[in-house]
Structure 1
Amino acid sequence: MAKLQLLETFSLQETEDGYRLLVSAVGGEALYVSITPDQMDDIIESLEAAMGGEDGEGVEEDEAF
């Protein structure tokens, strides 16, 4: 299993075949990952679910504003 490391930087670039993601961990080497459009859709859906949904449902907002 891979060692859990803190994220230092990331960047995402669109390519002809999908996307290229550059990720680096604190004190580690950079890693380029090729992502297909379908994989990017899955990543986006996962992030939306983690944040409480596309419409913000389930995300608590500060009522002081």
Structure 2
Amino acid sequence: MRQLIKFSVTVREEDFVFHLVDDAGQTTDFAASPEQFDAVIDALDELLSENEDDEFEIEDDEPVYQKPLS
């Protein structure tokens, strides 16, 4: 299985392009509509949220870093 080592996203007029680079340096590009892009974000957010406590051993009394939105 190839390993993802780098990615970027380019915004075009009506869609987005994911640029994925594997450990052999091969680049694969995927175009995605705004709806598809949102679905990817939602899926990753859900996956990370489900595993966050186990993966990062977050305790209820530990401070949580929040990145400012502005």
Shorter-chain TM-score range: 0.7 to 0.9
Structure 1 gaps, min length 5 = none
TM-score computed with the length of structure 1 as normaliser = 0.73
- Counterpart in the other structure of 2:52: 59
**Structure ranking higher in helix proportion:** 2
- Counterpart in the other structure of 1:18: 15
Structure 2 gaps, min length 5 = 64-70
| 1:52 shift after superposition | 1.1
Query: Alignment identity in percent?
Result: 17
Distance 1:39 1:7 in 2: 20
- Counterpart in the other structure of 1:33: 30
Give the RMSD, CA atoms, in angstroms.
Answer: 2.0
Cα distance per residue 1:12-64 (max 9 Å; x no partner): 111101111100110141111111001011101100111116xxxx6321556
Structure 2 CA distance for partners of 1:64 and 1:14, relative to 1, 3 Å: same
TM-score computed with the length of structure 2 as normaliser = 0.68
Structure 1 stretches of 4+ with a deviation exceeding 2 A read 62-65
Aligned length: 58
